[in-house]
């Protein structure tokens, strides 16, 4: 993790908020599991602009 993704993770940790760093190879079921486990209501998506 680097740049903005790293900063986003640091902010989430500081605020005691859950975060998940995913790759294109991440399975949809792992993402769904994260959302269900943490009862996500608002989802902030951060990443490269490319």
- pLDDT tens, position by position, 1-50: 777 788 888 999 999 999 999 988 999 999 999 999 999 888 888 777 66
CA–CA gap between residue 7 and residue 9 (Å, rounded)? 5
CA–CA gap between residue 35 and residue 50 (Å, rounded)? 25
Q: Among residues 42, 37, 40, 44, which one has the least CA distance to residue 8?
A: 44
Q: Report yes or no on whether pTM surpasses 0.85.
A: no
């Amino acid at each position: 993790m680097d740049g903005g993704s790293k900063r986003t993770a640091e902010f989430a940790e500081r605020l005691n908020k859950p975060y998940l760093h995913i790759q294109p190879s991440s399975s949809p079921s792992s993402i769904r599991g994260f959302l269900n486990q943490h009862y996500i209501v608002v989802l902030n998506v951060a990443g490269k602009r490319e």
